[in-house]
Amino acid sequence: MTYPSREQVEVTVAAMFGRAPEHWRAVWEGGYSRADRWLVQWSDGQRAFVKAAWNSDDDGLQAEQVVYSSVEASFMPRLLGFSTSDDGSFSVLVIEDLSSARWGVPGDERDAALLAAAFDELAGIAAPDALQPPDLADGWGGLASDARALVETGLVDGAWVERCAGALVAAEQEADPSGAQLVHCDLWLQNWCRAPRGVVLVDWDASARGNVALCRAWGEAAVRTAGGPGGVVLAAGNGAWAAWMAAQAVSDMVNCWNRPLPPRLLETQRREAFASLCWACDELGLPPPEPVGGFLPPGPWRP
């Protein structure tokens, strides 16, 4: 994948701020992104996080800019600038530098409580008019209809699918992700951090209009994936949302299983799928998955 060059991005950033940063450090950690990313610093010590992407390849920066410019909340990164290049070929988003925040470490009670508080605040925020309903995976019905692809990942075997898929399909149908609230549809560990002001949610390129319970389910799964306490972000007794979330995580893993993606991203997806499915099985009284080698237990991960 190619990105706008740093030199091209520097021209656009300099035009936005009236001066170009002196120091640029490429950011390669985290998951897959269609945008190139840097931490930058100006001569007076001001720091920022810069993302740039071709407009023909990605509309995520425009979606993020819509959210950042229209929503004020403690969990929202501060927008410092947004601009399109002079020829209109790429866009550049500049937000506050959050590199000193607490990222990807083992989840604890404080992390879970602050994430839950962020979702309480998010529950009162309507989605900007430009946002659409979320683009979600087909769910357990789709996974069960192509059980071979799921079994090939080694997460479960065919007997487990035959025994458990029906209960997961039925439970998932009770979760309704539709609604009018602002929702973040990619809330894994690499997309939230604990700053002094509380949890901050980043990478709103998949933001949508829906039910904030979707975010609570995603956050619960993320905390469990980090080895944190269950039942803080989303209380026990939410088997429908656990089944729904497991379907999202497992579908992501299955869809990426044979693609040439970074090994750490695939490793993270395996961990997310395993933790999410264990949560759903615990809620629904189903036998837990017994993955074939290579699946990491819940624990720390640094994006």
12 and 120, same domain (yes or no): no
Domain annotation covers residue 303: no
**CATH number, position 193:** 3.90.1200.10
Q: Is residue 41 left, alpha or beta, with left meaning phi > 0 and alpha meaning psi from -120 to 50?
A: beta
236 and 157, same domain (yes or no): yes
Among 73, 95, 117, the domain boundary falls at 95
State how many domains the chain has: 2
**CATH number, position 37:** 3.30.200.20
Domain of residue 35, residue span: 6-95
Domain annotation covers residue 1: no
Query: pTM for the full model?
Result: 0.92
Domain annotation covers residue 84: yes
85 and 169, same domain (yes or no): no
pLDDT confidence of residue 167: 98
Domain annotation covers residue 186: yes
Domain annotation covers residue 184: yes
pLDDT in tens, 134-163: 988 889 999 999 899 999 999 999 999 999
pLDDT confidence of residue 231: 97
3-state secondary structure of 303: coil
215 and 255, same domain (yes or no): yes
Q: Which residues lie below 8 Å from residue 9, measured CB to CB, with a gap of 6+?
A: 36, 38, 50, 52, 90, 92
134 and 268, same domain (yes or no): yes
72 and 123, same domain (yes or no): no
Provide the terminal-to-terminal Cα distance of the chain, rounded to the nearest Å.
20
Domain annotation covers residue 292: no
Nearest Cα neighbor of 61 from 12, 116, 104 is 12
90 and 124, same domain (yes or no): no
pLDDT in tens, 169-208: 999 999 999 999 999 999 988 899 999 999 999 999 999 9
Domain annotation covers residue 32: yes
70 and 130, same domain (yes or no): no
d(CA 179, CA 212): 8
Domain annotation covers residue 39: yes
84 and 115, same domain (yes or no): no
58 and 187, same domain (yes or no): no
Phi/psi at 113 (5° precision): -65, -40
145 and 224, same domain (yes or no): yes
| Residues in the chain where the model's pLDDT stays below 70 | 1, 29-33, 57-59, 105, 294-296, 298-303
pLDDT confidence of residue 189: 83
